[in-house]
Structure 1
Amino acid sequence: MSIRTTLSVCTAALALGAGSALAGGVIAPVVEVAPIEVAPVSVAGAWQGAYVGGSLGYIFGADDVVGIVPTLDGVPIEGRRALNLGDLDVSGATAAVHVGYRWQRDRWVFGPELGVEVGSVDADLASSFEGGDFELEAEMQNIVTLVMKTGYSVDPQTLVYGTFGVARGNFDYTATTLTDS
């Protein structure tokens, strides 16, 4: 065989091979894939757990009525009424720390909270009684609260709740007699 014949055979083989590849090729079958359904994740317990918080506040004018009840040997004297020395307008800034724990059952959330509040809450007043002058002072030492919080989780980001409980305030009252020197 001559070179020319060999080239012609090779060219023909290439042409036949290339022609069949262009004629159609393999078509992959189309498979319908069902969508994957993801079950919703329950958010039960999103509000559950221990927490610590703080708050800043201001007490606006808690009127305290200060008076004297005449006594004899620690027993109020009958016929003598209590004497009002004045009203103390107790007010001032406060800071508090709250510590609590919440449990969650389905959408219901509940738990106790303990709070301690301190601050610069005080008042003073000058008053007179039977010819004598007095200076009255009141100062808040602290307020301790124990409350129960109960609520309902409307959605994962919203909790509607209410509280009920007890609070105890520790206040110091001082009455000083003012005398002329």
Structure 2
Amino acid sequence: MFRQASLAILLSTAAGAAFAAGPTPVPAEEVVIVAPAPVAAAWEGGYIGGQLGYAYGDFSLDINDFDENNVIGGLTAGYLWSLGSGWYLGPEFQYDWTDLTVTDPDTGESASLDQMARLKLILGYEVGNGLLFGSAGFAYTSVDGVSDFIDGSSDGYSLGLGYDWRMSDAWTLGGEYIYNSFDGIGSSGGDVDVNAVYLRAMYRF
């Protein structure tokens, strides 16, 4: 009887100790944190395309001023780099063809501006599904006349404002206004200002 009581007490003590210790702990699984993939800058990269619009020319030649309007269009190529926080910066080259011809009714002399080239710096900011941008840069044109009085080339400048809307991953459609100013054309030192509004389509890569 004493032996049985001692055995019962021993078993009870062992069971209590095992219960107090609890089940064998399971090692916790290692938590792996994966950094999110960087988001690509939506407007960064190169692009090519064309523009078509309407130009308003103001010719200030000697003591006379003449106005002429006509269709204008050309080609565009550029590249944008991301500055972060939705801002982009880059160069853009444009070449336009048009036919702005004026004639002096007193002398019968005429002058014609039929092409312009621009190298601009673009600064843009993402707005919704598009890019709002401004531009400033160098402009060049050549005015052809019947004499050197209104004939010659000129270096000038351009200022612009536009918005491109993304139609797909590769294509954008937008609008742009550009002011072009040229001084000192020909022996008379004539000035020509051209205001132009465009629709533009670009393929981006």
TM class by shorter-chain length? 0.5 to 0.7
Match for residue 58 of structure 2?
A: 63
State the one-letter code of the partner of 2:81. W
State the one-letter code of the partner of 1:146. L
**Aligned-pair distance for 1:146?**
0.7
Match for residue 136 of structure 2?
A: 164
Q: Percent identity?
A: 29
CA contact (8 A) 1:98 1:113 kept: yes
**Distance in 2 between residues matched to 1:105 and 1:63, nearest whole Å:** 38
CA contact (8 A) 1:94 1:121 kept: no
- 1:123 equivalent to 2:95? Answer no
Match for residue 103 of structure 1?
A: 81
SS at match of 1:126: coil
**Distance in 2 between residues matched to 1:163 and 1:41, nearest whole Å:** 33
| Structure 2 gaps, min length 5 | 1-34, 148-205
- 1:152 equivalent to 2:125? Answer yes
Q: Which deviations, in whole Å up to 9, do the C-alpha atoms of 1:71-92 show, x marking residues without a partner?
A: xxxxxxxxxxxxx3x3222322
For normalisation by structure 2, the TM-score amounts to 0.49
| Structure 1 gaps, min length 5 | 1-38, 68-83, 128-133, 176-181
The structure showing larger relative contact order (alpha-carbon pairs under 8 Å, at least 6 residues apart) is 2
**Distance in 2 between residues matched to 1:168 and 1:112, nearest whole Å:** 16
**Distance in 2 between residues matched to 1:49 and 1:87, nearest whole Å:** 43
SS at match of 1:135: coil
1:87 maps to which of 50, 58, 65: 65
| RMSD of equivalent CA atoms | 2.3
CA contact (8 A) 1:154 1:160 kept: yes
SS at match of 2:137: strand
For normalisation by structure 1, the TM-score amounts to 0.55
**Distance in 2 between residues matched to 1:93 and 1:87, nearest whole Å:** 21
**Distance in 2 between residues matched to 1:174 and 1:64, nearest whole Å:** 15
Counterparts of residues 3-42 of structure 1 (less than 5 Å)? 42=38
**Distance in 2 between residues matched to 1:174 and 1:41, nearest whole Å:** 64
SS at match of 2:43: coil
Q: Aligned pair count? A: 113
Change (3 A) 1:50 1:103: same
Q: Which of the pair has more CA radius of gyration?
A: 1
Change (3 A) 1:149 1:87: same
